[in-house]
């Protein structure tokens, strides 16, 4: 697989996993109507109503943001939470801000996305072998969800992992625990008890990328490392 440069559009998402695809669709529907965290729901609604000046003519999504990607995914990308004027505006994880430009640009270069640009949930972008989600589904004030809010949202992530048949670590959050608890480091990998790996990375936030804490080479290396560990 060529990892850099232009390529033909990706084929349609795999259709052989019809049951998992249905499961993921049902999970997404549950996420979108979720009202478990009143503080977060009130904040997202307020942001969607008031809007940022640059997006005043756009209609904000304003609801909990579902996961997105290939039901046959071998790679699961988990962020913390949607951005107030990013995913909370566009309705797709890692979409609408600088972090999304880094993520989808690299996924495209690695052959895992049909386009290097993600604009909003309805733009037709598809992923191959990859599913993107988050620990929290609502944009939190200050980008900091409370522990109890993460706990309430945990079930959605567990269900998504269980619904991805090619994800070897899909039971990690539900039934197993990594001991000793791994320390965070960029590009560090930890083998999981049931197979597969947990791979960590700095977030491609504007703060990290503009200061050089995360460089393009470092970011690329994480995805190349993931492909190498998975044997793709």
Lowest mean per-residue pLDDT among 4-8, 92-96, 143-147: 4-8
In 3D space, the residue among 13, 23, 67, 15 whose CA is nearest the CA of residue 162 turns out to be 23
Domain that holds residue 39: 18-176
pLDDT tens per residue, range 180-192 = 677 788 989 888 7
In the structure, what pLDDT confidence band is assigned to residue 231 with cuts at 50, 70 and 90?
confident
pLDDT at position 14 over 50: no
Residue 215 lies in a domain: no
Q: State the pTM of this model.
A: 0.85
Residue 183 lies in a domain: no
- The answer to whether 105 touches 216, Cβ cutoff 8 Å, is no
HEC profile of 120-140: CCCCCCCECCEEEEECCCCCC
Residue 136 lies in a domain: yes
CA angle 180, 183, 185 (to 5 degrees): 150
Residue 10 lies in a domain: no
pLDDT at position 210 over 90: yes
Number of domains in the chain: 1
CATH, residue 34: 3.40.470.10
pLDDT tens per residue, range 52-71 = 999 999 999 999 999 999 99
Residue 28 lies in a domain: yes
pLDDT at position 21 over 90: no
Residue 9 lies in a domain: no
Could you give the maximum distance between any two Cα atoms of the chain, in Å?
50
């Amino acid at each position: 697989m060529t990892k850099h440069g232009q390529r033909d559009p990706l084929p349609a998402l795999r259709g052989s996993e019809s049951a998992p695809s249905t499961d993921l669709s049902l999970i997404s529907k549950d996420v979108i109507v979720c009202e478990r965290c009143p503080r977060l729901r009130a904040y997202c609604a307020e942001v969607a109503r008031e809007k940022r000046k640059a997006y005043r003519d756009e209609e904000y999504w304003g609801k909990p943001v579902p996961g997105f990607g290939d039901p046959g995914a071998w790679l699961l990308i988990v962020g913390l939470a949607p951005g107030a004027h990013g995913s909370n505006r566009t309705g797709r994880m890692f979409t609408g801000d600088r972090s999304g430009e880094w993520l989808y640009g690299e996924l495209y270069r690695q052959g895992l996305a049909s386009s290097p640009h993600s604009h909003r949930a309805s733009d037709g972008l598809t992923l191959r072998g990859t599913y993107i989600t988050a620990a929290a589904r609502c944009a939190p004030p200050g980008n900091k969800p409370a522990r109890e809010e993460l706990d309430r949202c945990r079930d959605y992530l567990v269900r998504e992992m269980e619904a991805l048949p090619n994800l070897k670590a899909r039971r990690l959050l539900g039934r197993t625990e990594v001991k000793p608890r791994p320390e965070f480091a960029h590009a560090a990998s930890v083998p999981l008890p049931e197979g597969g790996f947990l791979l960590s990375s700095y977030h491609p936030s504007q703060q990290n990328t503009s200061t050089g804490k995360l460089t393009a080479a470092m970011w690329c290396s994480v995805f190349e490392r993931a492909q190498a560990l998975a044997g793709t």
